[in-house]
Chain A
Amino acid sequence: MLAVFKRELFSFLNSLMAYITIGIFLLACGLMFWFFPDTSILEYGYAEMDGFFGLVPYLFMFLISAITMRSFAEERKEGTYVLLATRPLTNLQIISAKYLACLVLVLFALLPTLIYCYSIAQLGLPKGNLDTGAIIGSYIGLFLLGGAFTAIGIFASSFTKNQIIAFAVSVFLCFFAYSGFDSVSKISAFRGIENQLANLGIAEHYQSISRGVLDTRDVVYFVSFVALFFGLTHVVIGGRKW
């Protein structure tokens, strides 16, 4: 499994694609957080990162879908999946290896944004006046969110050999899982169960972790979310006919 993980990761790092996607993600983050007046921290006037943490999930939908779209789709198209499937590896090992490689790349993309914390701390009045607890919580939340989106992306990539389809499906599923349930719960027909519906969505749990309170219920939610999509991917890969 380690071998497959390493191969996946190096194949990302050896191709321009990973650098371009991560670069664009960071550029978009920078522009929105520092430059565009609507969302810029400089216009906002308060030295806190809430705006940033509200923005990143939407950028993640595109970043993560772009990273994960090739993982199974490309192997299906090129016929190289047979090289993995006939090795002494279980399907679950192959899925986990690809999942972890993508997740590491997502972490690479997230790492440079830690600089923002320092910048914001410098901007605060008095200097260094920063809600550290909330920021640590938010980064943990972002990591869990990234894990959930990666699981969706891997699943989307497993049932098609076309990377564009994998990307589009993944973006949609990520969007729906993130804020779809929240929006659906506002339909008047669901008035009785709106809390339960909103609780199914990622946004609810992400925001709860972002407040700096690490609740086991939220962690359990994210773990079972990832497990669900692992299971779905496993079913698709196990029943292959290609």
Chain B
Amino acid sequence: MSISVKNLSKHYGQQKAVNQISFDAKPGRILGFLGPNGAGKSTTMKMLTGYLQPTSGNAEIAGKDIEVEPLEVKKQIGYLPENTPLYIDMYVREFLSFVAQTYGLSDIAKRVEEVIQQVGLTQEQHKKIGMLSKGYKQRVGLAQAIIHQPQVLILDEPTSGLDPNQLSDIRALIKNLGKDRTVIISTHIMQEVEAICDDVIIINKGVLVANSSIDELKKAHQNKTLEQIFKQLTL
């Protein structure tokens, strides 16, 4: 089991942003993490990546508890944060080698070259990040998430704001990456979930309302479309 979350909660004063959620994610399968805006998706992801401290509950990544061995866990995770924050004053290559150095990778130049090819940044590799269009920034974000070949990928809305061509590129890339590792992606696009995800969890107001494979979910809801199921569970 690559990710195992048990009763994870995050409270901000009275408000329960995430309330006792539990789920598992398996290697070789892509897990779609759905929910309306403000449901607690990003908060959950931030807790898994060690950015936020959970109020209660725990989570294990590759068998290691996120609060007991945070540094070990962080080495196993590749994370693409929401809105893809990047150091815009750095060059693409410079930034990627910086990220590689923070993981203490050995053959940095070679690895940077590989990820640049993998995410399709070859044309733009000598530009400043601030000069790139949104789609290419997103690719830089993906590149920094996969540069250390993590076992677990956590991608927060990796396809928001992309044009249709870029969309299919990035989806193909994610699907490819998901073959031999555990991937969690959050998204609002239902077609995307059907296209690339194997399992799906739906969260609403901090509470888990669905957790199964896509096929089972549809079976349980008389073969309605995913969109109808989503509305039924979260409205």
- Seen from chain A, the residues whose Cβ lies within 8 Å of a Cβ on chain B are 2-4, 6-7, 11, 14-15, 78-80, 82-90, 240-241
Contacts and interface: CB of A to CB of B under 8 A. Distances in A.
A80 B88 CA distance: 10
Nearest to B156: A82
12 contacts: A3-B98, A7-B90, A7-B98, A11-B90, A80-B86, A82-B85, A83-B99, A85-B50, A85-B51, A86-B74, A87-B103, A88-B104
B101 interface: yes
A127 B103 CA distance: 56
B90 A4 contact: no
B163 interface: no
A190 B71 CA distance: 49
B50 A86 contact: yes
B51 A82 contact: yes
A89 to B, nearest CB: 6
B77 interface: yes
Contacts of A84: 102
A15 B83 contact: no
Nearest to B71: A88
B84 to A, nearest CB: 9
Nearest to A241: B12
Interface string B88-116: 11100000001101111000000000000
B87 A86 contact: no
Contacts of A90: 71
B81 interface: yes
B79 interface: yes
B74 A78 contact: no
B102 A79 contact: no
Contacts of B103: 87-88
Contacts of A79: 81, 83, 85
Contacts of B85: 78-80, 82-83
Interface in B125-172: 144
A78 B104 CA distance: 25
